[in-house]
Chains A and B, each alone.
Chain A
Amino acid sequence: MTLSTKSFEIFCGTGGVGKTTLATARALNLSQNGKRVLLITIDPARRLKDLLGLQGDAVGEVTEVELLGSKLHALLMSPEKTIQRMAKKYNTPDLANNRIVQILSKPYGGMNEILSMVEVQMQFDSGSYDVVVLDTPPGAHFLDFLESLGKIRSFFDQNFIEIFSYLGQKTAKAGKKVFGMGIINRFISTGVRKLLGYLQNVTGAEFIDDFIQAIQIIYQSRDAFLKGLSLQDRLKSRSECNWFLVTSVEQGKAQEAVELRSHASHFIHEDHYLVLNKCLEQELKSWNPDESHLIQVKASLEGKEQLLKKKLNEVFPVVLEFPEVISLSPTDHIQHLTERWKSYAPQG
């Protein structure tokens, strides 16, 4: 089994399985093969953050990292920084200054997934990288990440344009600055007007004004958001993207991995791999306890792992196994896992 290299590699899976460490090891493996690699990560554990040098000023900025003698680039997502880059690139400075946009783009404001899509697109467009390795947010929220593409579309949906025209008129009356909404002013639906009336009943008037402004500003930057959409086709394409679904023996949850895949079925093509981390099989093989309680422990550990592998092999075309690295040093982990990736990847 060898893995071919694509422009995008997506790591997803339930958290706490060593997903970020595996993704980092993969990025390092690609870089050792001479690729220009950018690793984008969302929420790494602190030790890994330290190892990658992604603290302080480096948060949200592409940083060159030297790991085990190889260089790669890494970026720790900061929604705020992404918004600033968008504002600069698309010349929409208001985007970075709007109060509501600022609150929502706080680190846990909830815009991480959607902005990570925009970030991947902007970074790849820069032409500086052969491969972008993306470590997605953990758990079922990987699904949010996938859906974010659809959300961008629905946010800028044609139906939705109606609201801008209505809002444009309203702010004009209120004597506020009006953005270029003229061409769509004809399509005012009474539905939108009614909805805003109700909204105002519960939210108060100040919110409506701020909100209108936020929506208009986001709308001005729609090109940046919509560009994220073109990524959708590339991630779907077998020639451009490898998908890695990560789980671990410790978790013992085949079901979650299967569910992840079925939720993501419109995205995932044949080139997807189940990565099973922290396997104890080799370790347990050499153990022959003779006391009954230890036999029970061995059977429990071995039985759970075998059952998991059996279930996974039934549903995934390829299962890549990685042994549990028993070491306290994250560098050791990355080194062992990079070696393991080497055995799966073509040498260059």
Chain B
Amino acid sequence: MKVTEKDVAYVAELANLELSDEERTGMLRDLNSILEYIDRLNELDTSNVPPMAQVSDRYGVDESRQGSARFAYASREDILEGLRKSMPHEEALANAPDADENFFRVPKVIER
């Protein structure tokens, strides 16, 4: 067993999930079974292999340039209004479970 009950509890906390006792038991079983399968990656020697994070690096990056200039493909002009007009507050808040005219409302964060 790679993953322990304690790990499940810790990872659930990181992921902002509570999980019922039953879910935790199932998670322990499933994560161990999946990770056991994933461990076959260790059969490969990757010590000299660069990591690949993005496909777009292949067609966009300009290797002849330095620093952030290499990623020029992903940048655009800084337009004051943006590419589309900002959303009116009313529209941006329309899906919120709780809001006033200007802000999303949440339970109290700071106790005093």
Partners in one complex: no
